Amino acid sequence: MSLEAQFYWGGAGLFGLWLAAFGLALAATRNGTVHPRPASQEFGPEPEAPAVVALLANGWRSVDHAAAATLLDLAARGLVEVRQPADDPALSTVHLTGRAATDLTPYERRVLDRITEQAGESGAPIGAIAFRAQDRATSWNGALRREIVAEARSRGLSRPRFGVLAAGALAVGAFCPGVLLALGGLTGGHNLRAAVAVGVLPAIPLMYLLSRALGERATRQGLERAGHWAGVQAWLRAHEDFARLPPAAVAVWDRYLAYGTALGVTARTTRLLGFDAGDKRRVWSSYGGAWRPVRIRYPRLRPGFGAGTPRLLRLAGAAAVVVVGLVLFAALRRPEWAVTSGPDASHSLRRPGLLLTLGWVGIGLLAVAVAGRFGRGTLLVAFLATMPGNFASGHGWLSHGMDHPGLLPGETVAVVCFAAVAAYYLALAVLERRAPRTVTGEVLRMEPRRHPKAPRFLAVDTGDADRTVAWALPAGAPAPAPGTVVRLSVSVATRAVRSAEAVPA
C-alpha cells in the first residue's frame, strides 16, 4: 500500500475511532434515571427556585418556562402583581408593587428588570413582556440559562457534561483525521490549499456533533431533587384545574403556580407568559398612551412591494415584452414552418409543439432579461420548460396551434393578464413619483426576508389604529431597533420606505 493510501486509510480509521470514542463518552456521561417520589404537595426544606426546578424538569437540557415561572415566583413573593381585569386572561397585566427587591438571584433580577422595562409605573399587559426581535430574545434567554445553570451548579445539582480535559481532547481529536487526510493529499501531489481543504472537511461534522453534546448533566443530588420535584409534578398534574389556571391565579396559589409552570403543568399560564420573540402578527404597543394589541399584516405576495421607480418600469417593461412578443409571435408564425409529415417528422426540430414552446420560452427569457432577473439557473429552467412541448410535439392540438391564425386562446389570456400587469406596474411607477408621505410611530417589529436583497418588513405603530401593514425597508438601509420612535418618509403605493430617522424621545 502506498504512503498516500496509508494516510487516507489512517484518516478514515481515526474518523471512525473518534466517533466510537464520542459514543462512549456520551454513554458514560448520560444522565442517570430520575426515580419519581410519590405524589406530594410538599416542596421540602429550602426548595430550589422555580427556574432551577425548570432545568431539572427539562432533563438538564433546557430551561423552558423558567422565565415565566420566575415571574410568577416574584408575584408570589409580592415583588410584582398580576391582575386580570376581565374574563380573558390574555388581557392580564403585570405591575410592580414597589416592594424593595433584595437578595435576588441574577436570573430573578434579569426577569424583574425586563418587567420593569416594560411595565414601568403603570403596568403592562403580560403579552408585552415578550421581545419583539428574535435576536434579542435569543440573547436574553441565553444569558438567563447561563445564570440558572450557575445557580444549579452552586447547589450541586448540575455539572458540565464533559470536563475541560475530555472536551479539549475530543475537540483536538476531531482535527486528527483531517491532518492525516491532508498529509495524504500532499503526498499524492495535491497543492497545499486542496490538502488543507480536505483536512478541515472531516472536522466540521465532528465539531458539530461535539458542540451539540456540550451541556449539563445531573449530579447524584440533582437526580434526587429531580425525583422529588417529579412527585410534586405528579401531584399538580393530578389536579386538572392547574392546567387551566390563568397567571392571575398566583394570588391564590402563590408559589404552587410558579412551580407548576416550571414543571410544565400549567398549560394556560405557560402559553400566556412568554419571554420569547412573541407573535409577530400581534404585538402589544403603548405608543399613543394606552397599551393595546396591534395586528400586523406582512404583504408578502403584493406585487411591486418596496420597489422603486426604475424597478417598477423594468417590471412593466418585462410584462409589455410578453404582450408584444406573444402578439408578434402569433402574427409572424406560419404553418409551413412546422414539419408534420414525412419520414423525419418525428425527429425534426421543426415539430409544431417544439416550435411553439421555443417561441414562448424565448419570449419568457427576453422578459426575464428585461426584468433584470436573469440568473444562473434561468437557462436551465428555460430548457426544462421546453420539455413538455418537445415530448408532446406530435399531439393533434399542437399541430392545430401552428395552423391557427392569430393568437391561440391561451395566448389571448396571457396577453390580457400581462397587459394588466404592465398597466399595474406603470400605474405604481406614476404613483411612486408623487411626494412621499411622512409617518411617525414606534417600530413594532423588523422582520428580515429569506432573500438577502429583498426589502425587509418594518412594522410601525402610528398610535391611531389597531391594525397596520408593514412597510418595505430597503435591504441595505440601517434597521431601527424595535421600540424606537421613527419618522419615515414613505411611498404609499409601493409601501417603500424612502428615508427613516429616529425621533428623540
Partner 1 sequence: MLVAGAVWTVVRTYNRLIRLRNQTQASWAQIDVQLKRRHDLIPNLVESARGYAAHERTTLEAVVTARGAAADSGLGVTDKAAAEDDLTAALGRLLALGENYPQLKADRHFATLQAELTTAEDKIAYARQFYNSAVQSYHTALEGFPGNLVSRLGGGHGRREYFEAGAPAQEATRVSFA
In whole angstroms, what is the distance from residue 482 CA to residue 467 CA?
17
DSSP β-bridge partners for residue 325: none
DSSP assignment string, 177-235: HHHHHHHHHHHTT--HHHHHHHHHTTHHHHHHHHHHH-SEEE-HHHHHHHHHHHHHHHH
Amino acid (one-letter) located at 96: L
The CB density around residue 405, as the number of other CB atoms within 10 Å, is 8
Contact window for partner 1 (CB under 8 A) among 35-43, 271-279, 332-340, 445-453: 35-43
The binder of partner 1 chosen from 7, 140, 256, 305 (CB under 8 A): 256
Q: Least distance in Å: CB of 243 to partner 1?
A: 11
434-459 b/e (C-beta count within 10 Å ≥ 16 → b): eeeeebebbbbbbeeeeeeeebbbbb
Close Cβ partners of 112 (under 8 Å, ≥ 6 residues apart) = 74, 79, 80, 101, 104
Angle at CA 111, nearest 5°, toward 107 and 115? 165
Residues contacting partner 1: total by CB under 8 A: 13
Closest to partner 1 by CB, 39 vs 454, is 39
For the chain, how many residues are written?
505
Task: For residue 22, give the amino acid letter.
Answer: F
Q: In the bound complex, what is the minimum distance in angstroms from residue 239's beta carbon to partner 1?
A: 5
Decide: 12 and 170 in contact? Cβ < 8 Å. no
Q: Which stretch binds partner 1 (CB under 8 A): 34-42, 142-150, 380-388, 429-437?
A: 34-42
| Interface pick for partner 1 out of 86, 164, 172, 252 (rule CB under 8 A) | 252
- Residue 225 CA to residue 223 CA, distance in Å, equals 5
Matching residue, cell 418600469: 313
* Pure H helices in 29-62: 50-57
If one asks whether residue 40 binds partner 1 (CB under 8 A), the answer comes out as yes
Nearest to partner 1 of 39, 361 (CB atom): 39
Tell me: does residue 7 bind partner 1 (CB under 8 A): no
Q: Which stretch binds partner 1 (CB under 8 A): 105-113, 247-255, 384-392, 480-488?
A: 247-255
The residue range among 113-121, 199-207, 249-257, 329-337 that interacts with partner 1, by the rule CB under 8 A, is: 249-257
| SS3 state at 121 | coil
User: Could you say whether residue 30 binds partner 1 (CB under 8 A)?
Assistant: no
User: Smaller CB distance to partner 1: residue 45 or 289?
Assistant: 45
Report, in Å, the least distance between residue 164 CB and partner 1. Answer: 43
By CB under 8 A, tell whether 103 contacts partner 1.
Answer: no
Residue 44 found at the interface with partner 1 (CB under 8 A): no
From candidates 12, 19, 39, 408, binder to partner 1 by CB under 8 A:
39
Minimum CB distance to partner 1 smaller for 44 or for 410: 44
Q: Which of residues 239, 271, 282, 297 is near partner 1 by CB under 8 A?
A: 239
**Which 8-state DSSP code applies to residue 295?**
E
* Distance separating alpha carbons of residues 274 and 172, to the nearest angstrom: 40
Give dist(CA 61, CA 149) in Å, integer. 10
Largest CA distance in the chain: 98
Compose the 218-237 pattern: x for residues touching partner 1 by CB under 8 A, - for all others. -----------------x--
CB atoms closer than 10 angstroms to residue 128:
20
Binding partner 1 (rule: CB under 8 A), the pick from 5, 13, 30, 41 is: 41
Q: Does 241 bind partner 1 (CB under 8 A)?
A: yes
Instruction: Decide: is 100 part of the binding site for partner 1 (CB under 8 A).
Output: no
Stretch of 13-21, 253-261, 285-293, 434-442 contacting partner 1, by CB under 8 A: 253-261
Among the residue ranges 40-48, 53-61, 155-163, 259-267, the one whose residues contact partner 1 (CB under 8 A): 40-48
**Cβ proximity to partner 1, 88 vs 241, nearer residue:** 241
The footprint of partner 1 (CB under 8 A) covers 39-42, 235, 238-241, 252-254, 256
